[in-house]
Structures are given as C-alpha cells and as structure tokens.
C-alpha cells in the first residue's frame, strides 16, 4: 500500500508532466471510486481547466487545477501514471497468475484495470489503474479544499512545520493503544502505514505492542527523530515496491532492500542476529526484534 514516500514519489513524477497541461475530457469506468461527486460532475468541472500544481498531505495526493482540485487516495493497489502516445507502450500489464498483480515496468496502455483516464488536449493522459479498487477520489472547489474532511482530519505531516516533538508527545500520551496502532492513526501523524511504522519502531528500539502512553520522554524523542530520516531515505529510493506500487513513469521503487524489519519476519535481525518476531498488532501484521526493541 502506498505510504508517504510512495505518494511523494508519484507527486514528484507528475510534477514533471502535469502543470500547464489542459484537461480535454475524463473517462470514468468505475464510478464507485468517486466519493463526493458523480462522473458527470467531475467531467463538467475539470474539462477545459489546466493543472496548476501538485501537493500532498500524508498519503493523500492533491492534484490542483485552476479552479478545482482532486484529492486521491491510492488505497491498496492504486497506480497513477502519465502516458504519452509519442512514447512506445510496453506490453499490456501482465497479470501474475498467483497474486493477480502485474509485473511489467515502464509505460503501459490502459487495460481492464484502468478505471479513470484524464485525457489532455495535447494527446497525453493521466491513467488511474487499481486492481482492488480501494482507491478514493474526491473533487473540491479550490476554496473548499482546506476545509475538506479528508484533509482536516489529518494530523501533522512529518515534512510540515506542525510535526513537532511536542505535538507528537501530546498525541501519543493521550492514548493507551499499542504504539504501532497509534502511529498508523492518521490523525496522530499522517503518512505512515504498516511498512514505515515497523521501520520507525525498529530504529527507535520500541516494541510495537507497548501502550503509547507508557513511553518515556526519551523513547518518544527516539520515535520522533526516526520518522523523517526513514521516510526521506525511502523517497530518495523512490519508494518501496513489493507488488503494485509504481511511480508516475511506471517504474518500481528501490527501497525494499533498505528495509530492516518489514517483510522480514522469521529472518535474522540485521543488528543483533536474533530471529525477528511477526505477529498481528491491532489487526496489522507487525515485525520486530525481541532483543533490540523493548
Ligand atoms: Zn535485534
């Protein structure tokens, strides 16, 4: 599932292509992806507008046009790629026979999982592909964007100035839930998902089941300090691809080999050699080192 580094990588990729391009029309093959508007509303509102900018808050991508903006949650398997008809397409996405996931790289022609196509006046397009269809799209007039429930409900984004030790400490002290569960709560800190919450707790040497309100000041500071470097290093590697995530050009991210614990349950801790634990915490699979994390 795309988390902050993956969404940021997509944002940066689309930033190369979208601003200034004009929307000619929109094809919606799966209207249930649109949460607060109809396909007709979306088409009527955006056609003729140019893209102005791309922003991001937590895991939400914000596609800003002249008068309206789209908020896009990629869900589990959402892929947002830019397509240029001047460039050759590779084969269609190949569906893996066991996992149902595709394994090609590079630019693709739309296929049966491509549910939204925003066509541009110059012939290029923005394609949204989503095998599991858990993605969510929202349309807002630009003036209503900041007050939208999707953005308003989010806690501090680690790359914005309201991400402070004081804010994080206050939010974590207010809950007795497991710290792993609290870090996944987007109203406490936005952008972390299962991968980076596990990585942050390993770097901070905190066991994921610890009640958040039991953490000492020093432990809270370790968590606070671990978040940004871990996310930044994944952004530098263009995100983590296990299966579906692709950047705006259709390429895989390269951060998997940098992960210390996530996806490594049963393997040896890279720090101490102990076998890594893997168990469900708050319904999410978590991996940690029983020796390094307390
Ligand atoms: Zn260890």
CA of 267 to the centre of ligand 1 (A): 11
Examine the domain organization and report whether 12 and 126 are in the same domain.
yes
158 pLDDT band, cuts 50/70/90, is: very high
Examine the domain organization and report whether 146 and 177 are in the same domain.
no
pLDDT at 243: 80
pLDDT beyond 50 at 98: no
Examine the domain organization and report whether 23 and 75 are in the same domain.
yes
pLDDT at 189: 98
233 pLDDT band, cuts 50/70/90, is: very high
Helices within 115-248 (DSSP H only): 149-152, 165-173, 179-184, 194-204, 217-236
Distances in whole angstroms, Cα of residue 62 to Cα of each of 10, 15, 105, 138, 253: 11, 11, 25, 10, 21
pLDDT beyond 60 at 117: yes
Examine the domain organization and report whether 8 and 110 are in the same domain.
yes
CB-based burial of residue 32 (10 Å sphere; 0-12 exposed, 13-18 middle, 19+ buried)?
exposed
Residues of the chain with pLDDT > 90, as a percent, come to 85
Examine the domain organization and report whether 22 and 54 are in the same domain.
yes
In a domain, 160, yes or no: no
Query: How much is the average pLDDT of 163-182?
Result: 98
pLDDT beyond 80 at 161: yes
Examine the domain organization and report whether 94 and 26 are in the same domain.
yes
In a domain, 185, yes or no: yes
Examine the domain organization and report whether 102 and 203 are in the same domain.
no
Q: Range with the lowest mean pLDDT among 163-172, 238-247, 272-281?
A: 238-247
91 pLDDT band, cuts 50/70/90, is: low
pLDDT beyond 90 at 107: no
In a domain, 237, yes or no: yes
CA of 205 to the centre of ligand 1 (A): 9
Q: Range with the lowest mean pLDDT among 30-39, 184-193, 239-248?
A: 239-248
pLDDT at 100: 43
CA of 193 to the centre of ligand 1 (A): 22
Examine the domain organization and report whether 141 and 86 are in the same domain.
yes
pLDDT at 92: 53
Catalytic annotation present for 3: yes
CA of 281 to the centre of ligand 1 (A): 19
Query: pTM of the full predicted structure?
Result: 0.93
Examine the domain organization and report whether 83 and 201 are in the same domain.
no
| Beta strands at 51-57 and 60-65: parallel, antiparallel or unpaired | antiparallel
90 pLDDT band, cuts 50/70/90, is: low
In a domain, 43, yes or no: yes
- Cβ contacts of residue 258 below 8 Å, gap of 6+? 233, 234, 237
Last residue of a domain, one of 152, 179, 201: 152
Total domains in the fold of the chain: 2
Helices within 47-187 (DSSP H only): 149-152, 165-173, 179-184
Query: How much is the average pLDDT of 192-199?
Result: 97
Q: Range with the lowest mean pLDDT among 101-115, 139-153, 223-237, 275-289?
A: 101-115
pLDDT at 86: 84
Last residue of a domain, one of 152, 178, 209: 152
pLDDT at 211: 98
From the candidates 5, 6, 11, 59, which is the catalytic residue? 59
What is the CATH number for 266? 1.10.8.50
What is the CATH number for 29? 3.20.190.10
Range of the domain at 189: 165-288
């Amino acid at each position: 599932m795309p988390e902050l580094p993956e969404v940021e990588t997509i944002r940066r990729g689309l930033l190369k292509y979208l601003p200034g391009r004009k929307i000619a029309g929109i094809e919606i093959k799966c209207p249930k992806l649109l949460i607060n508007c109809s396909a007709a509303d979306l088409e009527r509102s955006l056609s003729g507008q140019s893209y102005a900018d791309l922003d991001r808050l937590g895991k939400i991508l914000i596609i800003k046009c002249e008068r309206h903006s789209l908020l896009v949650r990629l869900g589990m398997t959402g892929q947002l790629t830019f397509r240029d008809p001047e460039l050759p397409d590779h084969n269609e996405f190949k569906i893996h026979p066991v996992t149902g996931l595709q394994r090609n790289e590079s630019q693709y022609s739309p296929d049966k999982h491509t549910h939204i196509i925003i066509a541009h006046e110059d012939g290029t397009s923005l394609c949204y592909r989503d095998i599991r269809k858990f993605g969510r799209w929202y349309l807002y007039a630009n003036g209503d964007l900041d007050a939208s429930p999707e953005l308003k409900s989010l806690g501090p984004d680690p790359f914005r100035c309201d991400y402070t030790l004081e804010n994080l400490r206050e939010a974590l002290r207010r809950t007795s839930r497991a710290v792993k569960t609290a870090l996944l709560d987007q109203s406490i800190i936005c952008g972390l998902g299962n991968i980076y919450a596990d990585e942050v707790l390993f770097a901070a040497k905190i066991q994921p089941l610890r009640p958040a309100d039991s953490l000492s000041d020093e432990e809270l500071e370790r968590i606070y300090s671990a978040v940004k470097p871990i996310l930044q290093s994944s952004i530098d590697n263009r995100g983590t691809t296990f299966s579906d995530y692709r950047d705006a050009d259709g390429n895989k991210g390269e951060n998997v080999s940098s992960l210390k614990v996530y996806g490594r349950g049963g393997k040896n801790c890279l720090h101490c050699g102990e076998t890594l634990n893997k168990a469900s915490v708050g319904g999410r699979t978590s991996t940690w080192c029983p020796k390094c994390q307390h």
